[in-house]
Structure 1
Amino acid sequence: MTGRSTLRITDLRDSDSAQYRFKFKTYWSEWQSGLPGTTLTVTDAPRVPTVWVSPPGDIMKNSSVTLSCSSDANPPAVYTWYKNNQSLLRKEPQLVFSSIQSSDSGQYYCTAENDLGRRTSNFIFINVKYGPQTSTLSVSPSGEIVEGSSVTLTCSSDANPAADYTWYKENQTLLQGPEDIYNFSSIRSEDRGFYQCKSENQYGQISSEPLFLDVQYTPKLPSVSVSPSAEIKEGSSVTLTCSSDANPAANYTWYKEDEDSAKASGQIFIITNIRAEHSGSYYCEAQNSRGRTNSTFHLTVVPGALKSAAAGTVTAALLALMLLAVFLWIRRKKSRTAGERPDSRAQLNVGPVYDTPSAAAQRRPAEQQDDLHYASICLSPQNAEAVYCNVGRVQPQRGTEEDEEEEDGVDYSVVRFDKGSSAAGTRIQEDGEDPCALYSAVNKKL
């Protein structure tokens, strides 16, 4: 009795490797060969490797990290590590970082290889995280910054994840957010100052060093101050000060209108022993390398104390003389109406009063002087600008009685101003007509 027995293995695996023996068995008996069995060895190319990282979770800078690669292969596989498609020349199933750095971030994978083949793992991304390492503030353009130009500040920071930024000027917050630039489309003089930026993420923060932004601009409209600020009197000293906001600092020049040449230079202009001719319009010019501006003001010089007093005295004297002339005319009219002769004289005193008839009156006969009325006004002898005034009825010297009768209806007033009397109560007397005499006539209706 003959026969054949066959063992067929499909989908052969490495686990099918073993020693196989034949055994024959019937209903009545069993036979087993004493010969050694047949040994089956299954060989296989490596399976696709698996890669994992330990410890799991965020990978922080300076921490210890291990990458592992594993593949089912027979014979056992040899492993090689790669970063960003560059071989690391390491032949171990594990890649160990004892203190991982930001430069170690990247894509990693491994290969498993034996005599029957080579397989490559999937990629794994290593992302090393850390707080901001630096924060540097820069400005563009880097040269001189002129008012009205465009300027950009940039804050540079090394951080993972990317930092958010806070912008400051003079410790005052300007802006917060992801923007690492701060832009001035048209920078102004008010933007001049110290700037700073802060870089921050969930792992830390750091601030830049302060950066001074120097904005240059044309001098602003100058302001002028005058000292003393009250009335400027002749003979006094006046200080003019000009100031202007400018960068670079301004130089100052003083001018008087309608004059070509400068009066002075410098921020302060002092006029000593000021006089009336110093009155007028002036302007101060502020100038730097970026331009120039000027400001106009008016200076008024008033007379000194002595001249003011003298002018006031003359005005008062003239007013008094006018009143006196009217008073004398009315009194004379009443006197003639009553058939009485007028009083020999009437006086109006301002300070000491001195009665002194004019030289022409002294030469007339006594009867002609009966109707004359004299009044003298003079100032205190302490006044250096003493003014003496003489008022009286003056009869022009006529040759005939007819002429005198024609003048009978006219009153004359004489005003004389004598300056510089040498003694109190003394008036300069001259023969003949007084060249300083002023005559006014008051017509009477009889």
Structure 2
Amino acid sequence: MRGAAMSLTAAASGLVVFLLSVSVVQGQDGWGVTCPSTEICAVKGSTVEIRCSFTYPSTWDGRVNILEKTFWFTKWKDGKRVDLTTDSEYASRVENLCENSICTLRIRNLRERDSAEYRLGIKTNQATYWANPVTLSVTVLQVHVNRLRLSTLLQCLSSCPPGQTSYIWFKNRQEVKEETSPYANFRYDSADSYSCALKGYEDFPSPSVYAPELPSVSVSPSAEIEEGSSVTLTCSSDANPAANYTWYKEDEDSPKASGQIFTITDFRAEHSGSYSCGAQNKLGRSNSTFHLTVVTGSSTMMVNIIRTTLGVLMLILALLLSLWMRKKKALRSTTEAPEPEEIELDSDPVYQNVSHTAAQKEDTEEQGDMV
């Protein structure tokens, strides 16, 4: 039980009970509520328990006084106190655990808006009695960094009233010390991370603080940088507290710019060179170096001409190769022997060689001349 274990003050006093139009002071005639803690500080996301014990008289105004209900409330609606177990903001997160005249209000998954004054109500068949409030503060922890010459002074920031709790400090996620004040002094080391927690809520520490990690740099446009164009550089680094950024160019002492984004609007040859982005916070510094090179306009034109010329030459070579292949195919077809022809004579097919027929004709003509 984290919240109830943080005993801070004595029992609440001055509690009042109303019976019709009659007011009753706490402790009078057996009415009373005692809460070990009247101010409780808890961490967002955690579970808290508010515990109070109560008494009531067995008889009241000459009649038997019977307990009918106990309930916790923080606000009114239509002139009535709203039972937290029926409130839509709490219904799924609260429990009213009562046994042996001790009631415990348990609230899970705390939200910052749960910070309020909580009261225990006791309802009998004759009267309704409610206690003075228990104040709950729901906090979100943060670590504030102060750099000294040889050390780092850290402060665990919370909305908890001073003196209500102790603070647990973690170095590289390992518990290293407990302090009654929210301050802790550590020897500086940029490789370390630090966080804090409230005692009893060690499972809900603050976000860690640490020096910037190695920055990453993006260049837009990411292609070749042409002369006269605009170039935008963006630097990013994971750091807590958030990093501040500074841009430098090699061989220049003064920074070129500050801020996460650095733009060169008219990029020239003299802008070429090595640049660095530095990310820095109170816990350390980290740098990344990169190189930028400009492509001049004439160089770009020459590259385009060469590319075009190569393309035309490739097309010419492809065309010449195609013509050569066609010519070679035609030449091959003329040098090949002709196929035999089919001749019809008296319906009977006779296959003759054309060249052989011509030779016979020449022989016949010679014989005729001889006769």
Q: Which has the higher contact order (CA 8 A, sep 6+)?
A: 2
TM-score band by shorter chain is: 0.3 to 0.5
When Rg is computed on C-alpha atoms for both structures, the one with the higher figure is 1
Identify the structure with the greater strand proportion: 2
Q: TM-score, normalised by structure 1?
A: 0.29
Q: TM-score, normalised by structure 2?
A: 0.33
